[in-house]
Structure 1
Amino acid sequence: PTTYQQAMQSNESSQWVNAMDAELKAHSDNGSWTLVRRTASTRPSGCRWVFAKKRDECGRVVRYKARLVAKGLKQKFGVDFFETYSPVANMNSIRVVLSVVVALEYVTEQLDADTAFLNSDLKERVYMEVLYGINNTKNMVYRLDKAIYGLKQVASA
């Protein structure tokens, strides 16, 4: 599905709800935001859900993933963010490390840290609209305390 409504109308809606609950729990556990009253000067970004099915090597669905992303396209340089940066390993560095691993007959492993980007504190004051369907939130917005997907500064926060 490409929208929340499509996910809720699909035959897999219960799996998508579970995936969204897991994502919201990760944000809650991480302290990603604080619900605050909207002021006249508040310029919140929107947000949306991005859905994906994770499959095994045989193509079977092993996990439903829902990621909450901010619509960072509304962010203005010098107001909402001051720099963007995404740390990426240089390919030559990776080749050197793998050459040493092979030469010394080491065993390699790969790992992935779930919600790794969500651990960075934001330096800037950034606001996001409250999610569709959350009750009793009129005139409220999320003040983002941690970087979330979709923000310009997510990888550099």
Structure 2
Amino acid sequence: MASRDVHFWKEAIHDEIDSIMHNNTMVFSNLPLGCKVLGRKWILKRKMKYKSKLVIQGFWQKEGINFFDTYSNVARISTFRLLLALAAIHNLVIHQMDVKTLFMNGESDEEIYMKQPEGFVMP
């Protein structure tokens, strides 16, 4: 946040928080006794525009105790190659789109507690 582009980064962070709150993916609550709070951090990237993602530092969890499954929304390069080959064969036009907010359709039976993001602390 010490860069000359701090205004753009803050705007990207506000957009991410607004998206999280609008989609009800985070609820503010008191930490129950016996529960651990996980850390969080901001991932900031500059592509065509400034982007930010709030991620939980789940690496503090232990498999079989704190979590049981992991998922990733990443396609393999062979899938992209196949789609590009099919588009070339059938003379199709390819368009790129930017997904601003992506949520997996997973359901969790467990509650996960995360530290509040800096600058957005609510009592």
**Fold shared, TM-score > 0.5 on shorter chain:** yes
Cα distance in 1 between the residues matched to 2:26 and 2:89: 47
More strand, by proportion: 1
In structure 1, give the amino acid aligned to 2:114. Answer: M
Out of 27, 34, 43, the position equivalent to 2:20 is 27
SS in 2 for 1:35: coil
Gapped regions of structure 1 (runs ≥ 5): 1-6, 56-62, 138-157
Give the percent of matched residue pairs that are identical in Structure 1 and Structure 2. Answer: 27
> How many residues align structurally?
122
Gapped regions of structure 2 (runs ≥ 5): none
Out of 10, 26, 31, the position equivalent to 1:17 is 10
User: 2:37 maps to which residue?
Assistant: 44
More deviation, 118-127/68-77:
118-127
RMSD, aligned CA: 2.4
| TM-score (ref. length: structure 2) | 0.79
Out of 46, 70, 74, the position equivalent to 1:84 is 70
SS in 2 for 1:126: coil
Deviations along 1:107-145, one digit per CA (max 9) or x if unpaired, are 2222232221x35444132110112234453xxxxxxxx
**1:105 and 1:84, CA in 2 relative to 1: closer, same or farther beyond 3 A?**
same
Q: Which runs of 4+ in 1 moved over 6 A?
A: none
Cα distance in 1 between the residues matched to 2:9 and 2:80: 36
| TM-score (ref. length: structure 1) | 0.64
User: 1:64 maps to which residue?
Assistant: 50
